[in-house]
A and B are shown apart, each in its own frame.
Chain A
Amino acid sequence: MFKMNVVRTLFALGLMIGCAQGAQASLLDQVQKRGFLICGSNPGVPGFGLPDDKGGWTGFDVDFCRAVAAAIFNDPTKVKFIALSAKDRFTALQSGEVDLLSRNTTWTLSRETGQGFLFAGISYYDGQGFLVRKKLNLSSALELSGASICVQQGTTTELNLADFFRGNNMKYEPVNFANAEEAVRAYEGGRCDAYTTDASGLYVERQRLTDPEDSVVLPEIISKEPLGPAVRQGDDEWFNLVKWTLYALVNAEELGVNAKNVDEKAKSDRPEVRRLLGFEGNFGEGLGLGADWAYRIVKHVGNYGEIFDRNLGEGSPLKIKRGINALWTKGGLQYAPPIR
Chain B
Amino acid sequence: MTAGSDGLSPFKAMKLRRHPALEFWYDAKARAILLQSAFVVAFVALAIFAFIDVRANMEARGIATDLSFLGKVAGFDINQSLIPYSAASTYGRAFVVGLLNTLLVAAVSLALATVLGFIVGFARLSKNWIVGQTAMAYVEAIRNVPLLLQLLFWYNAVLKPLPSPKQSLPLPFGMFLNNRGLFAPAPVFEAGAVWLVAALCVSLLAAVAMRLTPKRIKFATPSRAFFSGVAAALLLVLPLAAFVGAGTPVAFVQPELKGFNFVGGVRLLPEFVALVLGLSLYTAAFIAEIVRAGVEAVPRGQREAAAAIGLDRADADRLVIAPQAMRLIVPLLTSQYLNLIKNSSLAVFIGYPDLVQVFAGTVLNQTGAAVQVIFITMAVYLAISLVASLAMNLYGRRFALVER
Chains A and B form a bound pair: yes
Are the CB atoms of B360 and A5 closer together than 8 Å?
yes
Instruction: Specify which of B271, B368, B378 is in contact with A115 (CB 8 Å cutoff).
Output: B368
Q: A191 touching B361 by the CB < 8 A rule?
A: no
A178 contacts the other chain (CB 8 A): yes
In the complex formed, the residue of A with least CB distance to B162 is A190
CB contacts under 8 Å to B, within A293-325, are: none
Is the CB of B314 closer than 8 A to any CB of chain A?
Answer: no
A94 within 8 A of B: yes
Q: Does A339 contact B (CB under 8 A)?
A: no
Indicate if the CB atoms of B370 and A2 lie closer than 8 Å. no
Chain A residues with CB under 8 A of B64:
114
User: Are B370 and A8 in contact, CB atoms less than 8 angstroms apart?
Assistant: yes
Kindly identify, within residues 167 to 224 of chain A, every residue whose CB is under 8 Å from any CB belonging to chain B: 172-178, 182-183, 185-186, 189-191, 193
Residue with the highest number of chain B CB atoms closer than 10 Å, among A8, A189, A191, A234: A191
Q: Kindly report which residue of chain A lies nearest to residue B263, judged by CB atoms.
A: A146
Interface: A134 (CB within 8 A): no
A1 within 8 A of B: yes
Is B63's beta carbon under 8 Å from chain A?
Answer: yes
B356 within 8 A of A: yes
Chain B residues with CB under 8 Å of A159's CB are 75-76, 366
Query: Beyond A94-B61, A114-B368, is A2–B156 a contact (Cβ under 8 Å)?
Result: no
CA distance A17 to B259 in the complex (A): 55
Q: Is B212 an interface residue (CB 8 A)?
A: no
Determine the chain A residues whose CB is within 8 A of the CB of B259 once the complex forms: 145-147
Interface size class of B (residues with CB under 8 A): 35 or more
Chain B stretch 22-51: residues in CB contact (< 8 A) with chain A = 50
Residues of B48-66 contacting chain A, CB below 8 A: 50, 53-54, 57-58, 60-64
- Could you tell me the distance in whole angstroms from the C-beta of A237 to the nearest C-beta in chain B? 16
Which B residue's beta carbon lies closest to that of A9?
Answer: B374
A256 interface hit (Cβ, 8 Å): no
- Say if the beta carbon of B115 comes within 8 Å of chain A: no
Nearest Cβ in chain A — how far from B207, in angstroms? Answer: 41
Instruction: Give the chain B neighbours of A146 by CB distance below 8 A.
Output: 258-261, 263
Q: Which of A83-91, A261-269, A272-280 lines the interface with chain B? A: A83-91
The answer to whether B79 touches A116, judged by C-beta atoms less than 8 angstroms apart, is no
Q: Is the CB–CB distance between A12 and B180 below 8 Å?
A: no
Residues A178 and B349 in contact in the complex (CB < 8 Å), given A20-B57, A159-B76, A173-B79: yes
A145 cross-chain contacts in B, Cβ below 8 A: 259
B164 A20 Cβ-Cβ under 8 A: no
Could you tell me if A16 and B53 are in contact, using CB atoms closer than 8 angstroms?
yes
- Asked if B270 contacts A162 (CB within 8 A), the reply is no
Give the chain B neighbours of A20 by CB distance below 8 A: 53, 57
Q: Is the CB of A148 within 8 A of B261?
A: yes
A176 touches B53 (CB 8 A): no
Question: Do the beta carbons of A193 and B370 come within 8 Å of each other?
Answer: no
**Complex Cα–Cα for A191 and B53 (A):** 46
CB < 8 Å: which of A6, A147, A153, A233 contacts B374?
Answer: A6
A100-119 interface code vs B (CB 8 A; 1 in, 0 out): 00000000001111111000
Within 8 Å CB of A234, what residues of B? 60-62
Q: How far is the CB of B376 from chain A (nearest CB, A)?
A: 11
Min distance, Cβ A162 to any Cβ of chain B, angstroms? 4
Asked if B370 and A191 make an inter-chain contact with CB atoms under 8 angstroms apart, the answer reads no
Kindly identify which residue among B60, B87, B356, B371 contacts A162, using a CB–CB cutoff of 8 Å: B87
Cross-chain contact A148 with B353 (CB below 8 angstroms): no
User: Which B residues are CB-close (under 8 A) to A17?
Assistant: 50, 53-54, 57
Cβ-defined partner of B361 (8 Å) among A9, A144, A161, A178: A178
When chains A and B are docked, how far (Å) is the Cα of A187 from the Cα of B300? Answer: 57
A177 to chain B, nearest CB (A): 5
Contact flag A94-B63 (CB < 8 Å), given A5-B370, A87-B365: yes
- Closest residue of A by beta carbon distance from B355: A2
A158 close to B (CB within 8 Å): yes
CB neighbours of A87 from chain B (8 A) = 361, 364-365
Contact with A along B224-266 (1 / 0, CB 8 A): 0000000000000000000000000000000000111101000
Q: Is the CB of B53 within 8 A of A154?
A: no
B204 within 8 A of A: no
- Contact residues, A69-88 vs B (CB, 8 A): 86-87
In contact, A2 and B58 (Cβ under 8 angstroms): no
Which of B349, B356, B374, B378 is within 8 Å of A182, CB to CB?
B349
Nearest Cβ distance between residue A143 and chain B, in whole angstroms?
Answer: 9
Task: Map CB proximity to A onto B83-118 as digits: 1 under 8 Å, 0 otherwise.
Answer: 000111000000000000000000000000000000
* A255 adjacent to chain B (CB < 8 Å): no
Are A1 and B370 within 8 A (Cβ)?
no
Q: Is B370 in contact with A153, judged by CB distance below 8 angstroms?
A: no
Residues of A within 8 A of B77 (CB): 161-162, 165, 172, 174
Shortest CB distance A75–B (Å): 30
Is A13 interfacial (CB-CB < 8 Å)?
A: yes
Q: Is B385 an interface residue (CB 8 A)?
A: no
Is there a chain A Cβ closer than 8 Å to B175's Cβ?
Answer: no
Let me know if B179 and A111 touch, CB within 8 A. Answer: no
- Besides A178-B349, A191-B180, 4 new A-B residue pairs in contact (Cβ under 8 A), listed by A number: A5-B364, A5-B374, A13-B50, A191-B160
Query: What are 23 A-B contacts with C-beta separation under 8 Å?
Result: A5-B360, A12-B370, A16-B54, A17-B54, A90-B368, A113-B62, A114-B64, A114-B69, A146-B259, A148-B79, A154-B361, A155-B365, A161-B77, A162-B76, A173-B180, A176-B79, A176-B351, A176-B353, A176-B357, A178-B348, A182-B349, A186-B160, A191-B160
